[in-house]
Amino acid sequence: MQEICWGSIGCGNVMEIKSGPALQNVKHSVLSAVMRRNGVLAKDFAQRHGVPSWYDKAEDLIMDPQINAIYIATPPNTHLHYTQLAAQAGKPVYVEKPMANSYAECLEMIQLCQDHHVPLFVAYYRRALPRFLKVKEILDSGILGPIHTINIKLLYKVKEVDLEGKDNWRVMPELAGCGYFCDLASHIIDLSQFFLGDIISANGKTSNTGGYYVAEDRVEANFNFNNGVKGLGLWDFNADEDLDRTEIRGRKGSIAYTHFADADVTITTGSGVNKLVIPNPAHIQQPLIQLMVDDLRGQGACPSTGITAASTNWVMDQVLGE
């Protein structure tokens, strides 16, 4: 492929800043069409962002001969279906995270794409962000000594939309797989495996402490990596405070960082404490999309594929007891 001409199934909030402009800005990439079931909203997005075509049916977008790659920016319960349609049309797939509602669905998506000889990528874009590449560089350097533990804490006060009882697909298990754990912990678990290797066992405990929605709002997890590193995780979406902090500890020091807040990376060793300020790009998916476009053009390898992403769904299934 000389130029990647994207068609996006879905053009909601994630497309406004995170991915839509990135698909337009990276080299050898263009956003050719968008689709939304509400055609008025699809047309509005296309006009505001300078996208040539819009559709209100996914099948029509996928079959557009001008489009040679498909971005699936819809809730996880639709990812398997749209991946099947795109793969059958012979078009590479870039799917939002989490990859699907279950590990079993992820395996189906991988098989479909393999059967039709099309690449499958997943939007775990932290694997390409400068801040987290620096964290990986530090971990791989050995200055922290052998790594033995990772401790994850993500605490948020209950969101206004949930206090008001408004529709919110992210806490509807039939659409999202579970609650905010699937939406946010998926990024954290994926990045942890990018840093430390595969998680080979995991278990957890879930509860609903607020009763604002059906899904769990608190998850506690224990997990083990293939290299012996131990992990602890706490995700609480009905907490008394907001806290986003992960610490990885080795025998000679530690490194602490946030996943979602734009904050310092703190390295602590016998030499003292060092803080790094590495801001995110304006369009946070752009570095990963560039790597993906390069991959499709035969000029590199994207670090987030269906195979790497499916592992995260497996871990979440184990933690949730599914």
Is 4-124+284-302 a CATH 3.40.50.2300 domain? no
Every domain range in the chain assigned CATH 3.30.360.10: 130-279
Query: Is pLDDT above 90 for 172?
Result: yes
- pLDDT, tens only, 114-165: 999 999 999 999 999 999 999 999 999 999 999 999 999 999 999 999 999 9
Q: Kindly report, residue by residue over 27-75, the tens digit of the pLDDT.
A: 999 999 999 999 999 999 999 999 999 999 999 999 999 999 999 999 9
Phi then psi dihedrals of residue 206, to 5 deg: -120, 155
Peptide bond preceding 75 in cis form (omega within 30 of 0): no
CA angle, corner 257, sides to 122 and 252, nearest 5?
Answer: 115
Strand order in the sheet with 243-250: 199-207, 218-225, 230-236, 147-155, 243-250, 253-257, 265-269, 272-276
> Which residues of the chain form CATH 3.40.50.720?
4-124+284-302
Rounded average pLDDT over 277-282? 95
1 has a pLDDT exceeding 90: no
The fold adopted by the segment(s) 130-279 is: Dihydrodipicolinate Reductase; domain 2 (3.30.360)
Residues 6+ apart with CB under 8 A from 240: 157
What is the reported pTM?
0.96
| Distance separating alpha carbons of residues 70 and 101, to the nearest angstrom | 19
Question: What residue has token string 């769904």?
Answer: 313
